[in-house]
Each structure stands twice: as C-alpha cells, then as structure tokens.
Amino acid sequence: MDFAILTAAGENGAQVRSDALDEIRTQAIRCGKVVRSVLQFARSEATEKWSSDLTGVLRTAIDVTARYANERGAHVEIDLSREASGQTVLMNPIEIEQVFVNLIRNAVESQPSGTRVNVSTRWVEGAVEISIEDDGPGIPEAHAEHIFDPFYTTRLREGRTGLGLSVAHGIVEDHGGSMWHETLDEPSVDGSRTLGGTRFHVRLPAEKTSPRA
Ligand SMILES: Nc1ncnc2c1ncn2[C@@H]1O[C@H](COP(=O)(O)OP(=O)(O)OP(=O)(O)O)[C@@H](O)[C@H]1O
Ligand SMILES: [Mg+2]
C-alpha cells in the first residue's frame, strides 16, 4: 500500500485511510484463500478414503452453503432420487463435500442475487450423478475451455481466486469420477438462442452395482 495514502492529510485524509484499510482487509482475506487453495491443490498424493453415504455428504454441503445462499437471496431446491439415496462411495467425505460446496457457491454467485439453484441426484449404471443447475447467465463458449484452469476467474473484483473448479476437478478425478458442465440455452421467439444457465455434473462410482429398489 502506498505510503502517501496511509499518511494522506487534508479534508479527505480519514476517508482515504479508511478506504485503504478496507482494501488491505479485502486483499488479506483473498491472500488467505489463495494460500489455503494452493496448499489443497498442490497436495498431489491420494487422500485416505472410506465408504460414505453420498447423499449425506451432499446434504451437509447444502447445509454449509445455506447461509451464504440466503444472504444472496438465492433459492436452493433439492431433488434427490430414491435410486441414488443410500448409495455409498469410497471417498474422502471432507473433499467431496468441498466439491459440492464449490459448485453450489458458484451457482449462487452466477447472479448478484436471487439465483435459483437446483441440486439433484440420479443413478447411472453403477454410478451416482449429482447435478447442480442455476438460472444465471451461463458460461460463454470462449470462457468454457478455461474454467477448470487454476486461477482462472472472471470474478477477480469480488476477491475470488479462480481455484474453486480446479480444486473440485482434481478431487473428483482422484476419486475415479468425472465432472463436466453444460451451458443451458433458451430459444427465443426469433429462433436465436440466448444463454440461460449452467448445469454442472459430477459422476462418482458407487460401491453397490445396482440401484436401490
Ligand atoms: N455456475 C456458473 N455460472 C457462470 N459462470 C461460472 C459458474 N461456475 C463457474 N463459472 C465461471 O468459471 C470461473 C471459474 O470458477 P471457479 O469456481 O474456479 O473460480 P471463482 O468462482 O471465480 O473463484 P473461487 O471459486 O476461487 O472463489 C468463474 O470465475 C466464472 O467465470
Ligand atoms: Mg468458485
């Protein structure tokens, strides 16, 4: 921070110093987030895994993000399929919870406020697929190829680090799963298409080979 700002005198001196301190606080918080995420990202060895209830972990992630969603006026709907519920996955539940937290937060953040988010599960041939959909502006094609890159963010001004999706992707791969997204579009009256939201999918191999009856 510029010394001249911190010693600013005159009528606006106090205001300038207060703004500067706010900026320092914002950037310090951001640095903390970067360090935490880099440490998480840099750890390349596979983590310990044990059999855990996937729907339970998903519910915890929804609970963890509920306050944040609420503060941003977002509505999170949950649509858990019977076939997928009770399925266990060999996982590190703390990491998998982080994957869902990152995706739900991104969905909530897709609009300044009032985003509708839908979280659903389904059974697909020996795996459980979790989908997190929002009604935000969608991800433009030009950005789509970069979103899993570490430090790629279009939200720098909001103090984001651009590590959420790369961390999530690394965790899912380490669990033998896959992760992808689709940009939803809506046809308009004149036949052109406008972007109309994003749906992220995470597919994780289930321990049981058949769905719950
Ligand atoms: N649901 C979404 N809707 C629209 N854009 C998205 C969505 N999810 C991710 N993105 C885009 O992908 C970029 C990268 O996402 P990522 O989660 O990695 O970083 P971030 O959210 O910007 O920062 P961080 O997660 O570290 O706080 C975002 O900056 C945004 O441009
Ligand atoms: Mg994010």
Distance CA 31, CA 114 (A): 28
Would you state the structure tokens that stand for residue 166, as one six-digit string?
């790369």
Atom in ligand 1 nearest the alpha carbon of residue 200: 1
Instruction: Report the residue among 36, 155, 202 best suited for mutation to probe ligand 1: largest number of ligand atoms under 8 A from its CB.
Output: 155
Sign of CA dihedral 128, 39, 94, 90: positive
Q: Which residues line ligand 1 (CB under 6 A)?
A: 102, 106-107, 110, 134, 136, 139, 143, 147, 152-155, 160-166, 198
Query: How far, in whole angstroms, is CA 194 from its chain's centroid?
Result: 23
Give the pairing of strands 88-91 and 50-53. antiparallel
Nearest CA to ligand 1 atom 11: 147
Instruction: Report the residue among 72, 134, 149, 165 best suited for mutation to probe ligand 1: largest number of ligand atoms under 8 A from its CB.
Output: 165
pLDDT tens, the chain, 213 aa long:
556 666 666 668 888 888 888 888 877 776 776 676 666 666 666 678 999 999 999 999 999 999 999 999 999 999 999 988 889 999 999 999 999 999 999 999 999 999 999 999 999 989 999 999 999 999 998 999 999 999 999 998 888 899 999 999 999 999 999 999 999 876 566 666 566 899 999 999 999 877 765
